[in-house]
Homo-oligomer: A and B are copies of this chain.
Amino acid sequence: MDSREDLTARARIRDAALRHFGEHGFDRATIRGIAATAEVSSGLVRHHFGSKEALRDACDAHLARMVSEINDRVRADPAPGEVNYVSVSLAAVGPYRDYIRRALVEGRAEPLFDKVVELSADWMAEADKKRSDRPVVTRQARATVSTAMALAVTMLHEHVSRGLGVDVFSPDGEDLLARVLLDLHSHPMLSPDEAAAMRARLPGKPRKRR
């Protein structure tokens, strides 16, 4: 959260909003509470942002900017074939995790999701080179679903933590999670033959690549 104490009031309000929205959700969070955290009056919040909705929009926009920067940094980074492209992004985005989680399930923060899909597609393009059979669906489609799956653990972290017996955001949890993901990602649920058979049994007419 920019960690400096001498931020403009506007920035302090925005950061406070990010925290409150993340912690309590948009509805439960109050302008007064945000103002208190930012150490300003509720009137000033209105002066700068106009309304609660607009304040949320400002939060989304700020996050999108940040994600763009992270995106560039990850791309520049030479770390090859890292499955953890999502973990990396999420780590960088750490303090905003709660906010992002809520935003995503509410269908907001589109630029954020789409950036991660791009990243995933890049990685997948590499993997596709080693692949013998031609994919039956576009890379974009596979990257999208793959991204959703990669975000699932974060989205459902309470349940995953319960199932794993350890908080997934703790060091132990991260370690265990990494091992689980490694196992899952190296052991396909279906053989190519099984997949083909199931695909043949699909109700819809055979369709074009989309």
Contacts and interface: CB of A to CB of B under 8 A. Distances in A.
Interface of A: 25, 27-28, 81, 83, 101-102, 104-105, 107, 110, 113-114, 117, 127, 131, 135-137, 140-149, 151-153, 155-156, 158-160, 162-166, 171-172, 175-192, 194-195, 198-199, 202-204, 207, 210
A195 B182 contact: yes
A110 B184 contact: no
A148 B142 contact: no
Contacts of A110: 159, 162
Contact of A142 (B117, B184, B190): B184
Contacts of A27: 25, 27-28
Nearest to A192: B186
B148 A152 contact: yes
The dominant DSSP class at the A interface is helix
Contact of A159 (B148, B176, B178, B202): B148
A149 to B, nearest CB: 4
Nearest to A158: B107
Contacts of A151: 152, 156
Given A28-B27, A155-B152, A159-B110, A188 B190 contact: no
A163 B189 contact: no
Contacts of A113: 156, 159, 162-163
A41 B62 CA distance: 44
